[in-house]
Amino acid sequence: MFTTQCVFFLCVNCTFSLVYSGYCEISISIKEIRCDCSSRNFTFIPTECPQNTSGLYLANNDLGLLGKETFSRYKQLSYLDISNCNITSIDQSAFDYLTQLKELKFFNNPLNTFQSNVFAPLTELRVLSISYTLLSTYQRESWSDFIRITTLLCDDGPSNGTFSEIFSTMKSLNFFEVDYQSDVIYNFTFHSFKRTPLKHLNINSHLREIEIDAFAPLELLSSLIIPNQNFLKLSKTLPALHVFENRQMEELDLRNNFKNYGEYVISADLFAYIGNICLKRLSLGWNGIRRIDAVAFQKMKYKHCLETLNLNNNDFDYHQDLIVLYFNFFINIKRIDISSITSRSIKNIREQNSNGTGILDHRAIFDTRSDWSIRLPSSLEFLNASFIIGRNDPINSITFKGIKRLEIVDFSYSSLADCNYTVRGLQNVLILNVSHFKCGLLNPYFLQSAVNLEQLIMQGSSLSIGLKYDHHSQFLSGLERLQYIDFSRNAFEDRFRILTFKSQLDSMQSLILEGNLFTSVPLNLEEFNRLSFLNIKNNKIAYLTTKETDAIEVLFRKSNRTMTVLLDGNPLVCTCASLDFVEWLFTTKVKLDSNGSYSCVENDGNITTTNVVYNHLRIMRIRCITTVWLIFSATLFGMLLLFILVGYRYKLHLQYFCLFIGMANPLFRKSKEESLEYDAYVAYCDGDYEWVYGPLRIFLEERRNYKLLLLDRGDVLAGEHRLFSLNNSISKCKKIILVISKEFVNNDWAYYEATVGIEHFLGLQARIIVINLENITKTEIPQCVLQMMALDANDHIRKTDILNENNIFWKCLDKAMKR
């Protein structure tokens, strides 16, 4: 039933917002229906709001006249704001039927007077905001209309310094706030309040003096707030509190009152006017106080009553070094605010001077360091000691003693010279703010005593330097209850060490890393079991990788689908590499700031939004794929073209390389040789015909069974051109034998024949056999043959009618043929 009702309200709200958005803004919840028609220049009461509207906002219109039964349509109103509506007349029956109205705002209207009993129908009216001048004109016989008013707010006060007798009939008035017009509160100012049960009084004015018995008629007053009176003096204010002596009061707020008249010291006698009241909350902040007499706290009559003390933004001098010590007189104190008191030294410190050596693993320091001890009231629960200018002396430790209930501590901007010390006694602290500390030099055991800490705030504390030297990740070790960590604006760039948050894997719920210099998520998110809020705004992240978004999705499932990630302020890019990230922004169920629509920069430098890119995601993907293939094709074509050009330029070298690689392979060489028809091609000149066909042929073919290819023997096709036959013949042979003679070196055909043969067997010198048949000088031998080993024939060998195969020449030739 509850779910159905919520859905119904949600649907109705959406419908009304759509229908009436041009006139009034309507919001509907289970408890109320609000209709905001303020600042619409209406000259009449709108009828567009639902009849069961409970809150009607009509401020800043031009209604002019409220006629008979003006609000009869809205009989269930409990709140009505008709301030600044230029109302000049109200009919006696204007408020008829508003029997449920509890609060009425009627400020700043030019109405001069009310008709009698205008407010009579408002039987449930409890809170009234109205001009005092207008209220004081209400007919005496109708004053009973205000008998049920509990809260009254007036934007002006009596010009003659005394309040109207109408207040004497307000038998239920509990709270009164007034912009008092006079600069003096007289003894008779509150005379009409003598029978009024007023408990809370808030006076805004430009007071110069409060007469000594001004508050005497306020017999039940328990809260007195007089702030921002820049012309008051201590001596003209505090004595007026004597009427509250020995009474119990909830609050006395005198903040920002005593700056301009040079009374910056509260003597024991002046402070006694406060001390003689059983006061729970005291605020003396922003008063420029330089000193409170040393015995003032000690002589307080009702020290045990004080629960909250606010002395912030004063100018205490060095005489107040022991002010914290005096706080121990307040045995029931719960909250102390001494922020921005601009003292030159830390208070309530008992220094124990000792010489010692503080050695960290990253820096050795030998100096004189002291141990400080600070005793605080055992009842203290909250301490704000931020923005205190303290000593810069190096210390070993600070120990807080006496505290048993202290849960919230704010030390922001109150850093010493460094963080190379330990803080002890924080076992019960749950929330700790040490932002803007100088922790470039950091003791890794700085916070080890805060074993129950749940929230740690360290903004702008130079942790990027301090944690760099925490090699063993001891800084957060042991803080296993830590749920909230704020490391904003610490200039972090690198990822955290793997073990930095090892003790918080099961406790961390919120991690704030805003305003650093990270270019990616700096830790392994999937290791955390309860993390549900991650703030990485204003870093240097271009986009999240698929691995990072997958880790966030894991946290989303672990956090019962309540994960929130803040990314605004990062220099995001919308390029081909980040399209998966853009798609994730609008498909994930993780809650994102700006609903995932962030500013980003495209490839061409234009600024757009992730929402625009997502709406054209398919086109962007096609464009990116086309670009990738274009780059790949261009690169492949360029490499191919380069290969062709290089191959053409160095074709001989490539041939040599390919032949060398191929021929070096025994299997290739063996299969190649087995497929060839002839064992050797013999290149010679006609003048050497008899030797070639004689001893050479007989030795190789008849006695060694080699098969030679001899062009003159008819081993080639008849009629084939000599050039073609040469190329075809050499390719059929395993080797080539060059018979060099004087005729050979002078024969062009022989030179060409040798060149073709050598090129064919390029890199395979073992395939080329050179026989120097005659004695020839090196200058006569062709260049292509000169560098090759040759067999030299002597006169005996050159004889054509003798063949002695035991001669060394024939043995070497036989060996060359076998290679």
Question: Which residue has better confidence, 430 or 561?
Answer: 430
Q: Which residue has the higher pLDDT, 751 or 20?
A: 751
Read off the pLDDT of residues 674-690 as tens digits, 9 standing for 90 and up: 678 888 888 888 888 88
pLDDT value, residue 11: 40
pLDDT at residue 192 tops 80: yes
Q: Which of 172-186, 331-345, 789-803 has the highest mean pLDDT?
A: 172-186
Residue of 535, 546, 607 lying closest to 571 (CA atoms) = 607
More confident residue, 326 or 380: 380
Instruction: Report the sign of the C-alpha dihedral through residues 573, 578, 583, 588, in that order.
Output: negative
How does residue 670 score in pLDDT terms, banded at 50, 70 and 90? low
Is-contact 590 564, C-beta < 8 A? yes
pTM of the model: 0.73
- Mean pLDDT of all residues in 297-326: 86
Write the pLDDT tens digit of every residue in 616-627.
Answer: 999 888 888 887
pLDDT of residue 394: 81
Distance in angstroms (rounded) separating the CA atoms of residues 661 and 653: 12
pLDDT digits (tens, 9 = 90+) for 79-125: 999 999 999 999 999 999 999 999 999 999 999 999 999 999 999 99
Q: What is the pLDDT of residue 319?
A: 62
Residue 671: per-residue pLDDT: 53
Q: Residue 293: helix, strand or coil by DSSP? A: coil
Q: Are 18 and 12 in contact, with CB atoms under 8 Å apart? A: no
Q: What percentage of residues in the chain have a pLDDT greater than 70?
A: 86
What does pLDDT average to over the chain? 86
**Which of 370-384, 628-642, 723-737 holds the top average pLDDT?**
370-384
481-506 residue pLDDT tens: 999 999 999 999 999 999 999 999 99
640 pLDDT more than 90: no
What is residue 425's predicted lDDT score, i.e. its pLDDT?
94
Q: If pLDDT is split at 50, 70 and 90, which confidence band does 665 have? A: low
- What tokens does 666 get? 């025994």
Per-residue confidence (pLDDT) for residue 87, from 0 to 100: 96
What is the three-class DSSP state of 174?
A: coil
Helix (H, G, I), strand (E, B) or coil at 571: coil
- The percentage of the chain sitting over the pLDDT mark of 90, rounded to a whole number, equals 60
Give the tens place of pLDDT for each residue, 15-35.
334 334 358 999 999 889 999
Cα–Cα dist 305/270, whole Å: 19
Residue 322 has pLDDT above 80, yes or no: no
Could you read off the pLDDT of 245-284 as tens digits, one per residue? 999 999 999 999 988 877 888 999 999 999 999 999 999 9
How far is 85 from 66, CA to CA, in rounded Å?
Answer: 10
